[in-house]
Chains A and B, each alone.
Chain A
Amino acid sequence: MISISVQEKDFDTGEEYRQLQSGNTNIGGVAIFTGQVRDLSDNPLKFMRLEHYPGMTEKSLQQTAEQAAERWPVVDIRIIHRIGDLAPGEQIVFVGVSSAHRDAAFAACEFIMDILKTTAPFWKKEQYVNGDSDWVDAKDVDQQRAERWQGGD
């Protein structure tokens, strides 16, 4: 089963894990990735503003999860992506995949993150303590990571 949420509020990774793990004796494991706001810049970050394209965002994430489910024998996929103003250290994204075997869970989780990074319509803007702000540029390395999956597993 695929479950997608785009929301302002924080998520509880432990609770999301329990949802994926419990009640399924046909799974052998759960792979989880969580992403959070980092502050690596010389200019101290006050918060990150996440904008998205309502409607397309959910559709895009659903399609990415469906592609993963076609490609690997997974049981459940859960994707949560936050929007709005997020301070350094706050969680942004959760991807959890349960499967009978770890190779499918690891691969599907990584695939979803790599494809999400280059196709899901989110845009980040860094708002600095000094009042300045900058849109975050897309990175070539993210495009390269997404393209890795085109050839096969």
Chain B
Amino acid sequence: MKVLFFGSLREQLGTGELNTDLPDDVDTVGQLLANLQSQGEEWKLALGSGNVLFAVNQDMVDETMSISDSDEVALFPPVTGG
């Protein structure tokens, strides 16, 4: 699956895109966040603020949204346009 990062998250993680297999125990976008947080200290630091928004296939969703391997998932901080 494709996981995209934007804004300060992209900068903190040093990457804007991750291509990875959906882990077996991950069914929702919230579980994906928890899985990514466990990948190392810098992931925990960047993604552990509790202030991460989710989009699945370019629609904003909450953490309970189901995801599959073919989805485009994006994680980003609260938006600041306008």
Contact = CB atoms under 8 A, between A and B. Distances in A.
Contact of A53 (B6, B8, B11): B6
**Do most interface residues of chain A lie in helix, strand or loop, or is the interface mixed?**
mixed
Interface stretch (B25-33, B40-48, B70-78): B70-78
A123 B82 contact: no
Contacts, number: 73
Given A51-B6, A51-B7, A123 B58 contact: no
Nearest to B7: A123
The 10 closest A-B pairs by CB, nearest first: A122-B81, A138-B78, A123-B7, A56-B58, A117-B82, A135-B8, A136-B80, A124-B80, A120-B81, A59-B58
Interface string B1-43: 0001011100100000000000000000000000000000000
Contacts of B78: 118, 137-138
Contacts of B11: 135
